[in-house]
């Protein structure tokens, strides 16, 4: 598929907003807009090109919508070509992009981009159906079963200590199940990932979240494998795949 570059004339010196860096021969998706609805384009930057738009002239960048637009632009570019994310909120002056990305760092960034060639980042996560796993715990653990019966329908203050103990046992039960279920997810994606980065899970119902660097041609096979896994575990877990995304986990942010 041919991807056309959006050509936007730039006149004079003005502030630019930076999203990321691409190789000099990269072509961006056409019609892409960024923060404040400004057209996104690629500006020459030594051996690279900077993905930019005009910065808002009437306000500072930092609204929640700006954060979402920044990520949306990077993910749209990543769907077409390798891109290195630039830190959110980075501004530069037209004609002086080297001040934001010095020449002595451009070769390293170009090497990082070449290493990402042909690959995309995807993020896969699994989460328990908490009601189903709780039913497992009640069936398997006599103490949990007893405490649920003791606290059901009774005054919270009168059963405070029992409720605390019940909560501790439930959390421990989820924790005990998580390693095996997370390993099952890891085994499923391993044949398709050039690299994997695990994200910390913080909620009781979370099983795992993995960032994957996957060759573009392997994405359909990965999706098929995850669909099969999701069908197998549908009674107790949900599986979600997000991407393509900019390679936040596999390339240094600029």
Last residue of a domain, one of 86, 117, 148: 117
Tell me, what's the pLDDT at 117? 83
Mean pLDDT of all residues in 206-233: 94
**Domain-ending residue, one of 90, 117, 144:** 117
Considering the domain architecture, whether residues 52 and 140 belong to the same structural domain is answered as no
Q: Model confidence over 73-103: pLDDT tens digits?
A: 998 998 888 888 988 888 888 777 777 777 7
Distance CA 193, CA 175 (A): 26
Residue at token pair 């999706």:
223
Residue whose C-alpha is closest to residue 193's, from 221, 214, 208:
214
Q: Are residues 82 and 175 in the same domain?
A: no
- CB atoms under 10 Å from CB of 7, counted, come to 9
Pairing of strands 15-23, 48-54: antiparallel
Q: Which two tokens stand for residue 58?
A: 């009437």
Q: What is the pTM for the complete model shown?
A: 0.74
Is residue 109 situated within a structural domain?
A: yes
3-class DSSP state of 77: helix
CA-closest candidate to residue 199, choices 219, 220, 185 = 185
Q: Is residue 2 part of a domain?
A: no
Tens of pLDDT, residue by residue over 189-212, are: 999 998 999 998 888 889 999 999
Q: What is the mean pLDDT of residues 34-60?
A: 86
Judge if 236 and 173 occupy the same domain: yes
Is the same domain home to 89 and 38?
Answer: yes
Q: What are phi and psi of 98, to 5 degrees?
A: -60, -20
Give the pLDDT mean for 218-241.
Answer: 94
Same domain, 93 and 137: no
User: Structurally, how many domains does the chain consist of?
Assistant: 2
Token representation of residue 160: 């405070």
């Amino acid at each position: 598929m041919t991807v056309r570059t959006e050509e936007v004339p730039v006149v004079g010196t003005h502030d630019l907003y930076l999203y990321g860096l691409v190789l000099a021969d990269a072509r961006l998706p056409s019609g892409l807009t960024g923060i404040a609805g400004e057209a996104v384009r690629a500006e020459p930057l030594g051996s690279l090109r900077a993905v930019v738009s005009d910065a808002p002239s009437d306000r500072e960048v930092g609204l929640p919508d700006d954060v979402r637009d920044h990520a949306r632009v990077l993910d749209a570019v990543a769907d077409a070509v390798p891109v290195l994310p630039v830190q959110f909120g980075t501004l530069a002056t037209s004609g002086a992009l080297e001040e934001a990305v010095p020449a002595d760092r451009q070769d390293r960034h170009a090497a990082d981009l070449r290493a990402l060639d042909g690959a995309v980042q995807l993020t896969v996560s699994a989460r328990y159906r908490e009601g189903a796993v709780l039913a497992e715990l009640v069936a398997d653990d006599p103490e949990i079963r007893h405490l649920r019966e003791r606290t059901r329908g009774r005054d919270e203050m009168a059963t405070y200590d029992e409720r605390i103990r019940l909560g501790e046992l439930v959390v421990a039960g989820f924790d005990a199940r998580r390693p095996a279920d997370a390993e099952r997810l890891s085994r499923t994606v391993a044949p398709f990932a050039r690299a994997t980065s695990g994200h910390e899970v913080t909620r009781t119902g979370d099983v795992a979240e993995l960032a994957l660097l996957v060759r573009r041609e392997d994405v359909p096979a990965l999706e098929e494998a995850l669909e099969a896994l999701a069908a197998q575990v549908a009674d107790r877990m949900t599986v979600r795949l997000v991407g393509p995304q900019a390679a936040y986990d596999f390339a240094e942010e600029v």
